[in-house]
């Protein structure tokens, strides 16, 4: 895992090359909405990209994390099937549903049933390198999502420049990122992490939570501002000292949201002394997201070392899949 995190910039560079060579075909029908279906490390890219491109994509993007598809999916829907292994049962079932609805389908996978089904039915499929934990291959799947949306003229090609800038940024700032991540891990050690971000970075915050869950073997939760100001903030009346708040921040976050965070911090500090901020770097939302993802990935790795756990082990998930396969 350490090597995979270290090579995140190389993965993004390779992903750009894969995207440039991807062979896709236009939809017979006009694309009026997009659905990205996938779970866990394969699905989080959908949540992130939906937020990153929200200011320019003129059709709605829905992220699906279930066996079933919403009723709106039809021949005017672009369904992007994202399954790193290609065998995620929820995603393969959703893919079958998309085929029945005659949606335009594009798959992103390293193989498995998704690739086999795509070949059998002549469905567009972008193959990414396999053999690693899905959560460690976000760079591959996220980048391909950009290329798919761009191919169907739903977003422009600015993402390429922004991704290359993000790669340069994390390479240049690698020493700072690792040092900051280690401090964040020490801050969270033997505490219960509570992660906050502004709306628009929910995907990045979710990714951090997932990495703490899988890599660090810890429970935690996350929420976004301003929504948490309308419910969870009241719940802090029951807060306690073992909670450690990490707020993901950006200098260009909306001013009212910035003010909300500052007021919310006063509430947190009444119940715990453990409040810390991580400020992004970068000139675009995509660069800022990549920076925060890389930093928090490192934090989850360092936290796994402090917890003396195997960062790669996911036996309970494998047990669940094994039990489901018996039914």
Annotated active-site residue 319? The verdict is no
CB atoms within 10 A of CB 204: 27
21 exposed, middle or buried (CB, 10 Å; 0-12, 13-18, 19+)? exposed
Of 153, 172, 251, 321, which one is the catalytic site residue?
321
Q: In the CATH scheme, what is the code of domain 2-156?
A: 3.40.50.10490
**Domain segments of the chain: what residues?**
2-156, 164-306
CA atoms within 13 A on the CB side of 229: 16
On the question of a cis peptide bond just before residue 226, with omega within 30 degrees of 0, the verdict is yes
pLDDT class for 260, splitting at 50, 70, 90?
Answer: very high
Q: State the pLDDT at residue 321.
A: 87
User: SS3 helix, strand, coil % of the chain, rounded to 5?
Assistant: 55, 15, 30
Q: State the pLDDT at residue 190.
A: 96
Alpha-carbon distance of 124 to 147, in angstroms, equals 13
CATH topology of domain 164-306: Rossmann fold (3.40.50)
Span 270-305, pLDDT tens digits: 999 999 999 999 999 999 999 999 999 999 999 999
Alpha-carbon distance of 223 to 104, in angstroms, equals 33
Q: Is pLDDT above 90 for 188?
A: yes
Q: Is pLDDT above 90 for 98?
A: yes
Q: Is pLDDT above 90 for 236?
A: yes
What is the maximum span of the chain, computed from C-alpha positions, in angstroms? 60
Alpha-carbon distance of 252 to 275, in angstroms, equals 21
Annotated active-site residue 274? The verdict is no
Q: Is pLDDT above 90 for 312?
A: no
Of 3, 21, 30, 230, which one is the catalytic site residue?
230
Annotated active-site residue 214? The verdict is yes
Of 214, 217, 222, 285, which one is the catalytic site residue?
214
């Amino acid at each position: 895992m350490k090597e995979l995190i270290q090579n995140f910039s190389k993965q993004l560079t390779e992903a750009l090359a894969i995207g440039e060579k991807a062979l896709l075909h236009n939809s017979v029908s006009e694309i009026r909405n997009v659905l990205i279906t996938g779970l866990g490390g394969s699905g989080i890219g959908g949540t992130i990209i939906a937020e990153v491109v929200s200011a320019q994509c003129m059709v709605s993007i829905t992220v699906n994390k279930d066996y079933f598809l919403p009723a709106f999916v039809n021949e005017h829907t672009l369904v992007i099937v994202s399954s790193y292994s290609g065998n995620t049962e929820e995603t393969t079932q959703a893919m079958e549903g998309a085929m029945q609805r005659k949606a335009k389908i594009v798959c992103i996978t390293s193989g498995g049933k998704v690739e086999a089904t795509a070949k059998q039915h002549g469905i567009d499929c972008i193959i990414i390198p396999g053999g690693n934990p899905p959560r460690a291959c976000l760079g591959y799947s996220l980048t391909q999502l950009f290329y798919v949306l761009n191919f169907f003229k739903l977003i422009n090609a600015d993402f390429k420049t922004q991704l290359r800038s993000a790669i340069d940024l994390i390479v240049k700032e690698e020493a700072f990122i690792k040092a900051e991540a280690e401090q964040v891990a020490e801050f969270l050690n033997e505490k219960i992490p509570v992660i906050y971000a502004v709306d628009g970075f929910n995907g990045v915050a979710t990714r951090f939570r997932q990495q703490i869950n899988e890599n660090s073997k810890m429970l935690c939760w996350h929420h976004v501002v301003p929504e948490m100001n309308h419910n969870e903030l009241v719940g802090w009346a029951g807060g306690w000292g073992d909670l450690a708040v990490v707020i993901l921040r950006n200098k260009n976050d909306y001013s009212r949201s910035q003010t909300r965070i500052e007021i919310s911090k006063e509430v947190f500090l009444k119940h715990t002394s453990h409040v810390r901020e991580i400020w992004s770097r970068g000139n675009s939302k995509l660069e800022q997201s990549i920076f925060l993802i890389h930093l928090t990935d490192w934090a989850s790795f360092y936290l796994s070392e402090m917890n003396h756990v195997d960062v790669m082990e996911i036996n309970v998930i494998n047990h669940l899949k094994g039990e489901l396969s018996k039914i």
